[in-house]
Amino acid sequence: MNRICLLATLICLASLSRGQAEPAPLGYRQQEKQNARYGKALGLPRDGDQLYLADTAYPRFPLPPGNEAYADVDGLKMKAAVEQITAFSRKSRADGNQYWGRIAGTRYDRMTEDWMLEQFQKQGLKEVRRQELKMKPQWYPESWKAEYTLAGKTVSIASAFPITGTAGTSPAGITADAVWIGLGTEADLQGRDIKGKAAVIYSIATPGGRSHSASWNGAMRRANEAGAALVIVIMGFPGNAISNPEGADGTRVPTFTISSDDGNLIREALETKEAVTIRIQADIQRKEGLTTGNIWGVLPGATDENIVIMAHSDAFFEGALDNASGMVTLLEIARHYASLPMAQRRRTLTFLSTPDHHHGMAGIKWVHDHYDFSKTALIVNCEHTSQTMLYLLNAGMMTSDAISARRWYVGGSDGLRNLVTDTFREFGVTTYAQPELKPGGELSQVYDKAPSFHLIDHVVYHTTLDTAELVPAWGMEAAARSFLKIIDGVNQMSLDEIKTTQSLHPKPLPQ
């Protein structure tokens, strides 16, 4: 009797201690350690109220002495402009587009171009114009639906998103039994028959969802080739974000990504040992004849040598980091120099906003093929300049009040490289220990044309997590100030001093 009482009390206490905090959310069953130390595992965007910090909560790197010329750069004003740009994306979603954002070739792209054109005019740039461009045929998902069924109960998979380049289905859709294949490596598939199944793969974001393990380790392709009927990739950011990774070009069957929350539900359904089926229906079109446009503007300088300052303007979802942060960095550079007399600008500044970075790069490719770079001293690519430092924390995610270190590149002379790295350090602009050997982003198309540099954070983008809440104002402010100082420094150097004497690649660091 006593023992039963004790047992009952223990069970009661155990359930109480679990029940006092909120009940374990969304399939996290084995998280006692997490719960004891941090409370429930947090995920984004669902727990944004606990994870997003106000801009003023981040330490602000003070303006280094002697740099009063850059005191006019105001991170909070830049942040307000980010919100104006992301609003075009939100309009696209509000209008009912399932594939939403500032997608090149859509009216939201056009609205963004119009806004940029207006900003160029407001800053007093000269020769402001739109250059109309034809886009190549586009993979274009119009609408889709995904759900799973366990024991007669069907649950919608709200976070499902077709991975760029994947195939659609007939209106009837495809239904298949789900099988879990871990990371989808060769080892995971040994001895497994996944023919006709819905292969569920866990993918690690490395570090962001655009580069993820199921893409670079070949899992998506491997599952396709092994005869799966559907391929489902769980994007390993804790929470319910919708992602749009790349890497499904050439896949044979519908290859979709889903959030960690939805992936946990499916895994736990599979752990019941009952059959779980997944159904996907997707209308994916190929659109031809879409058009878009580069936006150009010029601030004439004292000579005909020039500096090109560029930013891409298209985006998936809100695209606050990618690339509203870069667009406002470019605009801040324009505003700063427009307020100075022409005689103080040694070189002409050419501003360029390119529209279809993610859809074939028609804008920057035209520039590569036709623009005369013979008198270009420097290309400044403004792309993904500030993001909050994030951590995976047990089963959840933790944000911080720090600005994440960025990927970066400098191509040119040692003098240019030292100027860029010294200036980043001076302004507290954090970067990876090693630069890119070849730049990614929009700079990938023109870095062989002239000396160049960029910063390009690449953690949270191509996802619904890419909102202004994770784009700290002070990170954009410090980046813009450092870019201005680098441009001023370059204007103290001759073309020969900026251009490399060896190669356009940065020198490896000493051993």
Provide the binding-site residues for Zn ion, judged by CB under 5 A: 322-323, 383
Residue 334 C-beta: closest distance to Zn ion, Å: 19
Residue 213 C-beta: closest distance to Zn ion, Å: 21
Which DSSP string do the residues of 369-428 spell out, in sequence order? HH---TTEEEEEEE-----B--EEETTEEE--SSBPPBEEEEES-HHHHHHHHHHHHHTT
Task: Tell me whether residue 150 or residue 443 sits nearer to Zn ion (CB atom).
Answer: 443
- How many helices (DSSP H) and strands (DSSP E) are in the chain? 14, 19
Which DSSP string do the residues of 347-365 spell out, in sequence order? EEEEEEEES-TTTT-HHHH
Task: Tell me whether residue 261 or residue 322 sits nearer to Zn ion (CB atom).
Answer: 322
Task: Tell me whether residue 261 or residue 383 sits nearer to Zn ion (CB atom).
Answer: 383
The three-class DSSP label of residue 499 is coil
d(CA 218, CA 199): 14
Task: Tell me whether residue 159 or residue 323 sits nearer to Zn ion (CB atom).
Answer: 323
Which two three-digit tokens encode residue 217?
């380790």
d(CA 450, CA 412): 8
d(CA 332, CA 78): 7
d(CA 187, CA 450): 45
CA angle 443, 446, 449 (to 5 degrees): 135
CB 138 within 8 A of CB 380: no
Given phi > 0 = left and psi -120 to 50 = alpha, else beta, which region is 66?
left
Residue 229 C-beta: closest distance to Zn ion, Å: 34
Task: Tell me whether residue 211 or residue 491 sits nearer to Zn ion (CB atom).
Answer: 211
The beta strand positions in 59-160, using DSSP E, are 101-102, 126-134, 138-150, 153-156
Element (H, E) at 253: none
Task: Tell me whether residue 47 or residue 383 sits nearer to Zn ion (CB atom).
Answer: 383
Task: Tell me whether residue 106 or residue 313 sits nearer to Zn ion (CB atom).
Answer: 313
Which two three-digit tokens encode residue 372?
């005369």
CB 223 within 8 A of CB 199: yes
d(CA 164, CA 15): 45
> Which amino acid is located at 432 in the chain?
Y
Residue 441 C-beta: closest distance to Zn ion, Å: 5
Task: Tell me whether residue 221 or residue 384 sits nearer to Zn ion (CB atom).
Answer: 384
Residue 358 C-beta: closest distance to Zn ion, Å: 8
Task: Tell me whether residue 336 or residue 407 sits nearer to Zn ion (CB atom).
Answer: 407
Residue 297 C-beta: closest distance to Zn ion, Å: 20
C-alpha torsion 34→39→44→50, nearest 10? -150
The three-class DSSP label of residue 484 is helix
In Å, what is the CA distance from 476 to each residue of 112, 167, 329, 429? 20, 38, 7, 9
Residue 362 C-beta: closest distance to Zn ion, Å: 15
Residue 322 C-beta: closest distance to Zn ion, Å: 4
Residue 156 C-beta: closest distance to Zn ion, Å: 31
Return the sign of the alpha-carbon dihedral for residues 433, 437, 442, 447: positive
Residue 215 C-beta: closest distance to Zn ion, Å: 17
Residue 365 C-beta: closest distance to Zn ion, Å: 16
CB 251 within 8 A of CB 221: yes
Task: Tell me whether residue 420 or residue 460 sits nearer to Zn ion (CB atom).
Answer: 460
Task: Tell me whether residue 35 or residue 323 sits nearer to Zn ion (CB atom).
Answer: 323
Residue 98 C-beta: closest distance to Zn ion, Å: 22
Task: Tell me whether residue 323 or residue 445 sits nearer to Zn ion (CB atom).
Answer: 323
> Which amino acid is located at 188 in the chain?
D
> Residue 335: which residues within 8 A CB-CB, separation 6 or more?
123
